[in-house]
Structure 1
Amino acid sequence: MQAVRAFRGGERGLGSPGVVDLPLDLLRSDMFMTMRPVPDERIVVIAGTVWPPLPRAD
């Protein structure tokens, strides 16, 4: 949530609000496509690979 506030406040150059939503969108897509809980391994990949660069993106 802090990244969203920073984006709205102009503190970070994240490109667009869609970029901030990307990790949750990936999880939601996995849930709807498989109709099963997202495996822990997939959450680790999203949280460890996709999310960390976003708050620092300029």
Structure 2
Amino acid sequence: MPPKKSFPLRIDPKLYEQLEKWAADEFRSVNAQIEFLLRESVRRAGRLSKGETKPAANREDHP
């Protein structure tokens, strides 16, 4: 698996707080929750190829 891309993300503190609560509810880190939400959004938009529809098994983005 290629290394993940790192980049800074500026986000409203209130939005981050909500993401943090949501991530805790689903036993994910905030980073994994954001990645999960982005992946789902891209999938729903039909922008993922068939091979990219599921996260790698060793990732922290699923309960």
Q: What TM-score does the superposition give when structure 1 sets the normalisation length? A: 0.30
Report the structure, 1 or 2, having the larger helix content: 1
Higher relative contact order (CA 8 A, sep 6+): 1
